[in-house]
């Protein structure tokens, strides 16, 4: 199909003997439909051409950035590689000759699909609920069939976010891939979930609530820190309290995590961290604000405290005392004085 824009009004040359009628025309000469095309960003458009008569010049308006028009030898050429997404309604206007003649068209530039890194690369114990992993997306309208996820874990897409959740019922290292659908580009969200088997403890003598009070140095003096730690067979929760005044304890930090025990070795994967807000003097108020694993606030707090997300401790129980040995300086042993803490059962 050839589009011809034709104006029938006439213009006379200033020749009373041989009057000549000059009429501007513009006709699409590239393939039908090239004047209404869809491309994606950073990809060259299909060149659009028009042939003209009568005109002595051309103006262009509405073209995408980095797409330009040219006119030579009565041929209009529109070409280029768009660098911005959007719907661009362009106009080619003929100058000179006779008549107000133009051609219009539309170039739609769609963004490429993108997907961000996962919010976490978790390690958890089998049959333990996964803290949701999220991937931010752009351009896509959904996701295809996910591959590589553990049994019991699924992926869903809503409002430009992929959410991976569930409770894994198989152990192993799972490298997953989730294809984006719609939009432009063959893009997949990828990541790794490590699921460790549950090792039934030889005994559960560590289960219960334990406490220790230790000296603690702050910007406003040396005070005491009370650590209260509670174990179940598969989880751990810890609360740190500062002694602000005599017999007055203020909540300071908190931690929760999943727990696996193999012999005398405990492995903790932190799922939640909390820190008390402070007043204008920097003194904790006791109002702990907690953040879940996978959040930016959690990652910052983990970094600020120098605490690894997963760590191991050797433990032993003798009477009403629990001894924990943690490789705090990561030198491969549990022998330094600050790596050994003795708790009393409550």
Residues 140 and 153 in one domain: yes
d(CA 236, CA 229) in angstroms, rounded, equals: 7
> Is 118 inside a domain boundary?
yes
Does 238 lie in the same domain as 138?
Answer: no
> What is the number of domains present in the chain?
3
Could you identify the residue written with the tokens 């090792």?
Answer: 199
Both 105 and 15 in one domain: the answer is yes
In-domain check, residue 203: no
Tell me which of 139, 165, 196 is where a domain ends: 196
- Is the residue at 219 inside a domain? yes
Q: Is residue 32 part of a domain?
A: yes
Domain stop point among 162, 196, 230: 196
Is the domain of 185 the same as that of 214?
no
Q: Are residues 216 and 339 in the same domain?
A: yes
Asked, for residue 251, whether it belongs to a domain, the answer is: yes
Based on the fold, state whether residues 53 and 67 are members of the same structural domain.
yes
Residue 44 lies in a domain: yes
| Residue 91 forms part of a structural domain | yes
Same structural domain for residues 268 and 315? yes
Q: In three state form, how does the secondary structure of the chain look?
A: CCCEEECCCCCECCCCCCCCECCCEEEECCCCCCCEEEEECCCCCCCEEEEEECCCEEEEECCCCCEEEEEECCEEEEEECCCCCEEEEEEEEEECCCCCCEEEEEEEEECECEECCCCCCCEEECCCCEEEEEEEEECCCEECCCECCCCCEEEEEECCEEEEEECCCCCEEEEEEEEEECCECCCEEEEEEEEECCCCCCCCCCCEEEEEEEEEEECCEEEEEEEEEEECCCEEEEEEEEEEECCEEEEEEEEEEEEEEECCEEEEEEEEEEEEEECCCCCEEEEEEEEECCCHHHHHHHHHHCCCCEEEEEEEEECCEEEEEECCCCCCCCCCHHHEEEEEEC
Residues 338 and 214 in one domain: yes
The structure's pTM equals 0.47
Domain end marker among 63, 79, 110: 110
**Using CA atoms, how far apart are residues 11 and 22, in angstroms rounded to an integer?**
6
Q: Based on the domain organization, do 231 and 314 belong to the same domain?
A: yes
Please list the pLDDT of the chain residue by residue as tens digits (346 residues).
Answer: 333 333 333 444 445 555 554 689 999 999 999 999 999 888 999 999 999 999 999 999 999 999 999 999 999 999 999 999 899 999 999 999 888 999 999 999 988 899 999 999 999 999 999 999 999 999 899 999 999 999 999 999 999 999 999 999 999 999 999 999 988 888 999 999 999 998 766 688 999 999 999 887 766 667 888 999 999 988 999 999 988 777 788 898 999 999 999 888 899 999 999 999 877 766 778 889 999 998 999 999 988 888 788 888 899 999 999 999 987 666 666 666 667 899 999 9
Give the domain CATH number at 123.
Answer: 2.60.40.10
Residue 202 lies in a domain: no
Is 120 found in the same domain as 27?
no
Is there a single domain that holds both residue 177 and residue 297?
A: no
Nearest to 118 by CA among 344, 294, 241: 294
Same domain, 231 and 291: yes
CA atoms within 13 A on the CB side of 263: 3
Range of the domain at 10: 4-110
């Amino acid at each position: 199909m050839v589009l011809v824009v034709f104006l029938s009004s006439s213009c006379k040359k200033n020749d009373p003997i041989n009057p000549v009628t000059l009429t501007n025309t513009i006709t699409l000469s590239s393939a039908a439909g090239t004047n209404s095309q869809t491309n994606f960003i950073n990809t060259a458009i299909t060149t659009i051409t028009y042939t003209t008569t009568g005109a002595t010049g051309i103006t262009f308006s509405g073209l995408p950035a980095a797409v330009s028009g040219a006119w030579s030898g009565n041929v209009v050429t529109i070409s280029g590689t768009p660098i911005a997404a959007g719907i661009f309604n362009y106009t080619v206007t003929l100058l000179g000759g006779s008549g107000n003649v133009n051609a219009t068209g539309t170039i739609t530039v769609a963004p490429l699909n993108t997907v961000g890194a996962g919010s976490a690369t978790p390690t958890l114990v089998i049959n333990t609920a996964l803290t949701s992993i999220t991937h931010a997306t752009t351009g896509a309208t959904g996701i295809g069939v996910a591959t590589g996820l553990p049994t019991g874990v699924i992926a869903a897409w809503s409002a430009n976010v992929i959410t991976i959740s569930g409770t894994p019922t198989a152990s192993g290292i799972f490298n997953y891939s989730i294809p984006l659908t719609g939009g432009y580009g063959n893009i997949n969200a990828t990541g790794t979930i490590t699921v460790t088997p549950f090792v039934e403890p030889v005994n559960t003598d560590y289960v219960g609530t334990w406490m220790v009070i230790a000296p603690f140095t702050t910007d406003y003096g040396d005070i005491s820190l009370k650590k209260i730690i509670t174990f179940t067979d598969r989880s751990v929760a810890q609360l740190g309290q500062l002694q602000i005044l005599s017999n007055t304890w203020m909540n300071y930090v908190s931690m929760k995590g999943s727990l696996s025990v193999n012999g005398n070795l405990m492995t903790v994967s932190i799922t939640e961290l909390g820190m008390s807000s402070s007043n204008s003097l920097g003194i904790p108020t006791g109002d702990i604000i907690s953040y879940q694993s996978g959040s930016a606030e959690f990652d910052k707090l983990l970094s600020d405290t120098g605490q690894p997300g997963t760590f191991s401790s050797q433990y032993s129980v003798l009477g009403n005392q629990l001894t924990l040995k943690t490789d705090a300086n990561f030198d491969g042993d549990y022998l330094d004085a600050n790596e050994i803490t003795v708790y009393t059962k409550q």
